[in-house]
Amino acid sequence: MTQAQNSTGSTEPKPSPAKETAKHGARHHGHGALWVASIVSGLAVVAVAAASFVASPAIPLVDTAGRGVGASSQQVSQTLLTGYCPAQLGLQDQESYGDAEFSVSQGNLASAVRYSAIGSVYGLSVSGLAGKETKDLTTGSDILTSGGVSAESSSLMSATLLGAEDGTGSTGTVASWASQGDIQGLAATSCVDSSLTSSFLVPSPETGRTNTLVVANSSNKPTTVNVRFWGTDSNKEIAASTGSALALGAHSEKTLNLSAAASGKKGVYITVSSTVVPVYSVVKSSAASGLTSKGVEYLRPVDSTKGDTALVGFSTKQAVTLRAFSGTDQEISASWMNGDGVQQTKTVSLSAHQVAVADLGEVPDGATALQVTSADPVYVSAEATVSLDGQSDFAFVQPTPSVTRSAAALPDGVSGTLIFANTGDHDASVSIEGFDAQGASLGEHKITVNSRSSRTMASKDLGKEAKTVTVTHDGSSVEAVTWGVQLSVDSLSKAKVAEASVVGATSLMPRKTTVIAERSLLASVE
């Protein structure tokens, strides 16, 4: 799925800017390390405590009258970042029944995961949910990164920061693929953050489609996870036929078959809420028609957006279905974006608390992004399907917040096409830097993304072995440019197997909160 690169802007490599802070973090050692570690640990405890308040609903805890007498406040930053990287997307049921030719098979399923930490980083480690057998798998001269790891089981990526600075953070990507068996195609997702509440727009649980919610708890406290459902038929909440509460023990994972819980709907909006501690959640989706694979993919939580938002990662001739959910009655518009601007706008009417499903047809020639415009907050997710000789695969494309600095990682065996979209009224300049599998910089490139347009760039243009990519927005265009990576695997292309998967960029901006100490501990997000 090679994209034609827009000619606007130069892609000539330029020398990488000095990264003394990043190199200091990557190479830090000696007696000073123990001193830094103790400070980081202390800050991490405060940050984790604050994070539990940040994820909670913004409900006043006390009467604010009289605040200030004997009160103090302190801004704290999160210096311990964790991400949940789900296991490879294999068959849910591998039992064999009847004749061998009718038995399900995972075929030649393969998987890989890459973890990367960028900026002022002290260390990067990987462990299981229980935190046991933690391994420091990292290497790197400019950034810390680790690849060559399969994703047979889920993992936790933990990055310890020396400080909360712009351009500092972590990113990870999991990918699994097969050219034979009953789960042909490519599935990928970036590692997800924990949260007290997450939202999903789930595909229709039609015959042959399996949607499975996976929730994970890495803390030492058990919790109860409540799942709520809304469908396309009315604005009333759906009573789940299989129950909607999961008892989730400490350091554990559980699954819920969403297809069985809310059957007969064209699309489902769900919320996943934890009562005690933040949890990680992701949906695994697969489809089949008889013995023919119709695609596999991960589905991440989706955040609400407002105004002009770009969904990036489409290819010509893909069939696209848009799903949307809003708390108000409103109309949204969906417009295709290419190197020349915006085209073929379609209006979709939404009823409050009711899922809307719109068929957008095939992606027009040259279009690589979809601009969605709304007056009120709305949740949107697009499903892009590509077919080849009867077999097909699909990708979920969702909004990614635009920030000053962000990054994405490519697992071993996976290549990608970077796709940028600019929803602003002015041209935007961005700086792109690639890093190889050893964490060494491959140089920096600058490109221009024209206003109300999209453009592409192959990851190999950053360097043949580019495995981590960082993007910095220049000037005042931060809120207008969104980007992601459309993934591909050579072995699938050679086997003429349909493949589709997109991962969005991960923020490299500081996570801060203000802690106010009075008679109780309060937290509010800045």
- The pLDDT tens digits of the residues spanning 402-412 come to 889 999 999 99
Q: Please indicate, yes or no, if residue 46 is contained in any of the structural domains.
A: no
Reply yes or no on whether the pLDDT at 16 is more than 60.
Answer: no
Reply yes or no on whether the pLDDT at 92 is more than 90.
Answer: no
C-beta separation of 148 from 126 below 8 A: no
What is the pLDDT at residue 93? Answer: 47
Q: Which of 103-107, 202-206, 215-219 has maximum average pLDDT?
A: 215-219
C-beta separation of 213 from 225 below 8 A: no
Mean pLDDT over 419-441 rounds to 94
Reply yes or no on whether the pLDDT at 14 is more than 70.
Answer: no
Reply yes or no on whether the pLDDT at 434 is more than 50.
Answer: yes
The confidence band for 266, taking pLDDT boundaries of 50, 70 and 90, is: confident
Q: Token pair for residue 483?
A: 């980007």
Q: Which residues contact 230 (CB under 8 A, 6 or more apart)?
A: 236, 237, 238, 268, 269, 270, 325, 353, 354, 355
Name which residue leads in pLDDT, 93 or 418. 418
* C-beta atoms surrounding 228 within 10 Å: 15
What is the pLDDT at residue 307? Answer: 94
Reply yes or no on whether the pLDDT at 18 is more than 50.
Answer: no
Reply yes or no on whether the pLDDT at 47 is more than 60.
Answer: no
What is the pLDDT at residue 334? Answer: 97
C-beta separation of 510 from 77 below 8 A: yes
Mean pLDDT over 86-110 rounds to 66
Mean pLDDT over 439-454 rounds to 95
Domain that holds residue 429: 80-513
What is the pLDDT at residue 79? Answer: 80
Reply yes or no on whether the pLDDT at 284 is more than 50.
Answer: yes
Residue with the two structure tokens 């539990």: 52
Judged by average pLDDT, the poorest of 102-116, 248-262, 317-331, 360-374 is 102-116
Three-state SS string across 49-91, please? HHHHHHCCCCCCCCCCCCCCCCCEEEEEECCEEEEEECCCCCC
What is the pLDDT at residue 241? Answer: 73
Name which residue leads in pLDDT, 22 or 69. 69
Reply yes or no on whether the pLDDT at 512 is more than 80.
Answer: no
Judged by average pLDDT, the poorest of 15-29, 276-290, 295-309, 321-335 is 15-29
Q: Token pair for residue 403?
A: 């920030």
The confidence band for 96, taking pLDDT boundaries of 50, 70 and 90, is: very low
Q: Please indicate, yes or no, if residue 55 is contained in any of the structural domains.
A: no
Reply yes or no on whether the pLDDT at 325 is more than 60.
Answer: yes
In whole angstroms, what is the distance from residue 161 CA to residue 124 CA? Answer: 9
Strand, helix or coil for residue 407? strand
Q: Please indicate, yes or no, if residue 466 is contained in any of the structural domains.
A: yes
State the DSSP code for 500.
Answer: -
What is the pLDDT at residue 519? Answer: 60
C-beta separation of 226 from 273 below 8 A: yes
Q: Please indicate, yes or no, if residue 201 is contained in any of the structural domains.
A: yes
Judged by average pLDDT, the poorest of 38-52, 215-229, 270-284 is 38-52
Percentage of the chain modeled with pLDDT above 90 = 61
In whole angstroms, what is the distance from residue 44 CA to residue 222 CA? Answer: 21
What is the pLDDT at residue 63? Answer: 36
Q: Please indicate, yes or no, if residue 96 is contained in any of the structural domains.
A: yes
State the DSSP code for 2.
Answer: P
Reply yes or no on whether the pLDDT at 338 is more than 60.
Answer: yes
Strand partners, 326: 378
Mean pLDDT over 343-370 rounds to 95
Q: Rg for the chain (alpha carbons), in Å?
A: 23
C-beta separation of 54 from 525 below 8 A: yes
* Mean of all residue pLDDT scores within the chain: 82
Count of the separate structural domains present in the chain = 1
Mean pLDDT over 139-155 rounds to 89
Q: Please indicate, yes or no, if residue 130 is contained in any of the structural domains.
A: yes
Reply yes or no on whether the pLDDT at 61 is more than 80.
Answer: no
Judged by average pLDDT, the poorest of 31-45, 130-144, 237-251 is 31-45
| Cα angle: 58, vertex 274, 514; to 5 degrees | 35
Q: Please indicate, yes or no, if residue 353 is contained in any of the structural domains.
A: yes
C-beta separation of 186 from 298 below 8 A: no
Reply yes or no on whether the pLDDT at 120 is more than 50.
Answer: yes
What is the pLDDT at residue 513? Answer: 65
Reply yes or no on whether the pLDDT at 127 is more than 70.
Answer: yes
Q: pLDDT per residue over 474-511, tens digit each? A: 876 567 899 999 999 999 999 999 999 999 999 999 87
Query: For residue 150, with 0-12 CB atoms within 10 Å meaning exposed, 13-18 middle and 19 or more buried, which class applies?
Result: middle
Percentage of the chain modeled with pLDDT above 70 = 78
Q: Token pair for residue 102?
A: 């009718």
Q: Which of 76-80, 264-268, 395-399 has maximum average pLDDT?
A: 395-399
